[in-house]
Amino acid sequence: MCGIAGIFFKTQGSNQILGRALVDMLDGCQHRGPDSTGFALYEDGIEGLRLRFMVAEDDTAALDRIRAALAAHGATLRSEKREGATVVVDVDYSGEIRPFAYAMEHAAKLVSIGSTLDIIKDVGTSHQLDETYRVSEIRGSHGIGHVRLATESDVKPEAAHPFWATGFADVAIVHNGQITNYWKMRRRLEARGFEFRTDNDSELIAVYVADKLARGETLEQALEQSVDDLDGTFSFLVSTKDGIGFAKDRLAAKPMVMYEDDGLVAIASEEVSLNRLFPGKPLATTEPAPGTFRTWSRSI
Amino acid sequence: MVTIDLSTLPVRDANEAIRAAAAAGEDIEVVNPDARHHIGVGLVAPVTVHVKGSAGYFCAGLSHGARFEVESNVGWGVGDSMYAGSVVVGGNAGAIAGVALRGGEVVIKGNLGSRAGQVMKAGTLLCCGNASFLAGYMMYGGRIVILGDSGDRVGEDMSGGTIFVGGKVENLGSDAKVVEPTAEDLADIRAFLDRYGIAFGGTFKKIVNAGTKLRYGVNEPISRPLPHPVFSEGETYWNAKVVEDIHAKSLIGRYRIRGYGASKPLPHFGDIALKVDPARLTPTQDALDGVNLAMTLGDRHGAVPLKLSMPVLIAPMSYGALSKSTKMALARASRLAGIVENTGEGGMLPEERAEASQLIYQCLSGRLGWNIHDMLKADALEIYISQGAKPGLGGQLMAKKVTKELAAIRGIPEGIDLRSPSRHPDIMGADDLVIKVEEFREATGYTKPISIKMGAGRVRDDIKIAYKDGFDFVQLDGLQGSTGAASTEVLENVGIPTLAALQEALDGLKDIDAKNDMPIVMMGGIKDGVDAVKALALGASAVAMGTAAIIAGGCISCMQCHVGNCVVGIATQDPEHEARYQTEVQAQAIARFFEVVRRQIAMLTKALGHSDFQQLSRDDLVALTPEAAAITGLPYDPTYRAASAELLTKVA
């Protein structure tokens, strides 16, 4: 029950006003989800690998566990700092991501791992998060975001979106809707050794897509298959190191509007978010057709 | 011409300004709209509104007579429930353009989103581009003209109206067929296109209802009904009702329909006792002296609240299920008792409005009889999501009851077996619902309480949505709630009992620290003031009674409400049958019953040592059965059983 937004700058090199754009777009659809807000940002200037954890202010034991787990996996610490409800840890690490990620998960609540991806999510509105995490100052190439109205699960920072595809660096998802074959899909993935951190259906989509990417499929192929495999109502955005994509269910029960020009692609639940990027300008927007998907990526 | 700049003025203030300008006869120009929602919602004046850009959801919704011109795109639900007037959109329209259109003209120069014209009743929706899937879904009347292609399943379950497609018809929806357009049809369309300066050289395919699903095939056999008190006694394997049910199904080959609610033993308020000593109740006391029963309801967000002389409402029941005479008697009784009546589905009767001093106006999925004028006349608005008797299903009204007068107020074809949609066109989740609530507040100037009616399903989650989406109160209906018609399987087996529903709602609110911040009006088998006191003590803010009020007003509980031949003139639209109903006599009878309820609540409140019913608490209750204790968390104390029986005879 929520609103989603995503932006992809087409111009080569990044250094775009990514944070500012997403803060504004999410503020535009905050009415769809007042409980929590989140951003998955593909940032400039992350050195090494960035890990972000949810750690309570006084929980020094968790910090000790994180440091021990990092050392145990041969990751060297570059920096560690507290931001809001989270601790940001930049490390040098060159091993396999999945076992590393699961070990980190067992040390503390891990939000994301990425060489460019950084997920910032918390209870509160877009502007409130911007104050705490200075999101609008972040520059980068692309990103997705989410506002949430909690229905079945609690209002907690870790229940906010975006969801990182646990075990896969630099993959994130935001989702509006409800996956009705959640347990069936989850059991399939669990049988293949994947671990889930929440009962949230959006985490499932993230892992589902990332698994396909890891097996050598393109984002496009993964999204095409997702429209068949996932049951229920959904409009979701997925982001990887190189690009973003969307998929929409056949019932079109959840809205999605898109704007594209030479410089950027912007997608959101409602046009009102897109207009935040271009105040006062009528936009030639389109509504993706039901049961469709599309991707944009930076060709390397 | 008045210019309104939405980059500086919030939509709420802008709509006030639009109404003020329109009242002075001024045309309006809205600049910097930037796809904001609710522009011009509820406007009832013949002025022109130019929107210089894109509009968001429900642009021109609930309007009557205005002309809207939107330069660029519109979001979901453009022209929602519009009565007359026009909207011309230069770009594309999102989903459900022209939803529940009741008249007027909606012209989209670009493409149409999905489910265009869902549940529309009259008027014209024109699309110059292509339409997405399910155009004309469940439409009851009016005309959709698509110059481009029609998309998947056009005309799905339409029961009236026509769809003309100039381009390709991908495929037809269920119960739709293609016929030849008449010369008159084509001339009408041509004239319409000319009026809007739209050139089109092609031909049209005409799509109409195929008539295969408008009526149930075989009627149920007429048999002497078992009265409800017999029908609902205990459960044994092969009793008279089971045998009769199997016989009937072997004849008709489908599920059966009946009136009334669940009729099997379920944990209920009788399984809870009050911790009151019957000796403290003396018949010489003036029951009403020194105890407050009055309350207000619905001002959580600054609306003008309902004022109740006691914590009791009349449950929503429709004109349709019930005769006009019965609705009038209920309305009159509510006025005499100083409480609130509810329209139920199917619109507001002028006679009902005149009789009731306070009236809640219900909006259902089919938007039958839903319009801005009656919204403004109502004392509160209610969004019906579901009801206890049949959570998740739409209403049913059999053809016998769909008379000319009734069809006119609902805006539907006469004489069909009316099955209302099971969900709202524009409420697919909590995120859409919050926008819908906002639309209603914008349309009525934030003065009316807005409630949500819901059946007991996943109450613990649903109540949180109700809270977060900004409703003023919740009308919560348990499994024992009655209806005018539903399938027996659903009546008996879907939903959770009233007692459990109330407890789950309270637990849900506690989860989000909102326990005392969302009034719950509990209903579903509340029989009298004793049940009411128990519900209030458990945590309800008020209760609503439907079946009890109907019985007080002459119902004989035969459960044949759906048939339309009610022998006492209550559940019928047949003038001959309705003539048997004496409105004034029954209004007095219902009002007398409510006075007994009032005295019961007052006596028990006092006997429990309180001076105000709002002091009733869980400490006043015990559970008589282990089951009730498990559901409510009340202490299990069967020793109160004898006292409880004695008490009941004293307050009866």
pLDDT (tens digit, 9 = 90+) per residue, A188-239? 999 998 888 888 888 899 999 989 988 999 999 999 999 999 999 999 999 9
What is the C-alpha to C-alpha distance for residues B366 and B410, in angstroms, rounded to an integer?
9
pLDDT (tens digit, 9 = 90+) per residue, B400-446? 889 999 999 999 989 888 888 889 999 988 889 999 999 999 999 99
Q: Where are the beta strands (DSSP E) in B485-598?
A: 486-487, 520-523, 542-545
Residues of B in contact with A269 (CB under 8 A): 431
CB within 8 Å: B431 and A177:
no
In the predicted model, what is the mean pLDDT of residues B464-472?
94
Q: How far off is chain A from B461, nearest CA to CA, in Å? A: 6
CB of A151 less than 8 A from some CB of B: yes
Place of tokens 């066109």: B425
Report yes or no: B544 and B552 within 8 Å, Cβ to Cβ. Answer: no
The pLDDT of residue B245: 86
The pLDDT of residue A198: 83
Report yes or no: B316 and B453 within 8 Å, Cβ to Cβ. Answer: yes
Question: Which of A1, A282, A290 comes nearest B54 by C-beta?
Answer: A282
Give every CB contact of residue B538 below 8 A, 6+ residues apart in sequence.
B272, B499, B502, B503, B506, B618, B621, B632
Within its chain, how far is the Cα of B277 from the centroid? 41
Q: How far off is chain A from B429, nearest CA to CA, in Å? A: 6
pLDDT of A300 strictly over 60: no
pLDDT of B175 strictly over 90: yes
CB within 8 Å: A274 and B35:
yes
Q: Please list, residue by residue across B202-213, b when 16 or more beta carbons sit within 10 angstroms of its beta carbon and e when fewer do.
A: eebbbbbbbeee
Residue whose C-alpha is closest to residue B526's, from B552, B554, B498, B506: B498
pLDDT tier, B284 (very low <50, low <70, confident <90, very high otherwise): low
Tokens of B16: 């006030």
Residue whose C-alpha is closest to residue A236's, from A221, A253, A259, A260: A253
Report angle CA B305, B607, B474 to the nearest 5 degrees: 30
- Cα A41 to Cα A29, A136, A258, B560, distances in angstroms: 18, 11, 19, 62
pLDDT of A1 strictly over 70: no
Residue whose C-alpha is closest to residue B615's, from B624, B607, B627: B607
Question: Which of A149, A257, A280 comes nearest B34 by C-beta?
Answer: A280
CB of A271 less than 8 A from some CB of B: yes
The pLDDT of residue B303: 97
Question: Which of B72, B95, B512 comes nearest A282 by C-beta?
Answer: B72
The pLDDT of residue A299: 67
CB of A280 less than 8 A from some CB of B: yes
The pLDDT of residue A118: 95
In the predicted model, what is the mean pLDDT of residues B22-33?
96
Among B34, B115, B433, pick the best mutation site for testing chain A contact (most A Cβ within 10 A). Answer: B34
Which of A278-292, B177-191, B604-618 is predicted with the least confidence, judged by mean pLDDT?
Answer: A278-292
> B257: which strand partners?
B487
pLDDT (tens digit, 9 = 90+) per residue, B330-352? 999 999 999 999 999 989 999 99
Size of interface A-B (CB pairs under 8 A): 110
- How would DSSP label each residue in B187-201? HHHHHHHHHTT----
Place of tokens 């006292």: B643
pLDDT of A182 strictly over 60: yes
Tokens of A115: 């060489």
Report yes or no: B341 and B357 within 8 Å, Cβ to Cβ. Answer: no
pLDDT tier, A141 (very low <50, low <70, confident <90, very high otherwise): very high
**Taking CA atoms, what residue in B is nearest to A148?**
B431
Residues of A in contact with B113 (CB under 8 A): 252, 287
B397: Cα within 13 Å, side-chain hemisphere = 29
CB of A276 less than 8 A from some CB of B: yes
The pLDDT of residue B263: 86
Question: Which of A150, A272, A290 comes nearest B132 by C-beta?
Answer: A290
The residue extents of the domains of chain A are 2-45+123-297, 47-114
Question: Which of B7, B114, B431 comes nearest A252 by C-beta?
Answer: B114
Which of A18-27, B216-225, B288-297, B624-633 is predicted with the least confidence, judged by mean pLDDT?
Answer: B216-225
pLDDT tier, A45 (very low <50, low <70, confident <90, very high otherwise): confident
Instruction: Please state the ipTM of this predicted complex.
Output: 0.88
pLDDT (tens digit, 9 = 90+) per residue, B632-643? 999 999 999 998
Report yes or no: A88 and A78 within 8 Å, Cβ to Cβ. Answer: no
In the predicted model, what is the mean pLDDT of residues A251-271?
93
Among A275, A281, A286, pick the best mutation site for testing chain B contact (most B Cβ within 10 A). Answer: A275
Longest Cα–Cα distance of chain A, Å, equals: 55
Q: How far off is chain B from A124, nearest CA to CA, in Å? A: 14
Domains of chain B with bracketed CATH: 2-209 (2.160.20), 257-651 (3.20.20.70)
**Taking CA atoms, what residue in A is nearest to B74?**
A271
Q: State the Rg of chain B over Cα.
A: 26
Domain A47-114 fold is Alpha-Beta Plaits (3.30.70)
Among B54, B431, B433, B468, pick the best mutation site for testing chain A contact (most A Cβ within 10 A). Answer: B431
pLDDT tier, B235 (very low <50, low <70, confident <90, very high otherwise): low
pLDDT of B170 strictly over 60: yes
Q: How far off is chain B from A146, nearest CA to CA, in Å? A: 13
Report angle CA B368, B392, B519 to the nearest 5 degrees: 85
pLDDT (tens digit, 9 = 90+) per residue, B73-108? 999 999 999 999 999 999 999 999 999 999 999 999
Residue whose C-alpha is closest to residue B48's, from B78, B25, B16: B25
CB within 8 Å: A279 and B71:
no
Mean confidence (pLDDT) of chain B: 94
Residues of A in contact with B429 (CB under 8 A): 1, 177-178, 233, 253-254
Instruction: Please tell me whether the peptide bond between A162 and the residue prior to it is cis, using omega within 30 degrees of 0.
Output: yes
The pLDDT of residue B400: 85
- Cα B517 to Cα A4, B298, B301, B465, B522, distances in angstroms: 29, 11, 11, 14, 15
Instruction: Give the per-residue SS3 of A94-110.
Output: CCCHHHHHHHHHHHCEE
Among 3.60.15.10, 3.40.640.10, 3.40.50.620, 3.60.20.10, name the CATH number for the domain at A2-45+123-297: 3.60.20.10
pLDDT tier, B164 (very low <50, low <70, confident <90, very high otherwise): very high
DSSP state of A87: E
- Cα B21 to Cα A37, B16, B30, distances in angstroms: 38, 9, 12
Active site residue A2: yes
pLDDT of B219 strictly over 60: yes
- Dihedral, B44, B50, B51, B52 alpha carbons, nearest 10: -170
> B382: which strand partners?
B362, B451
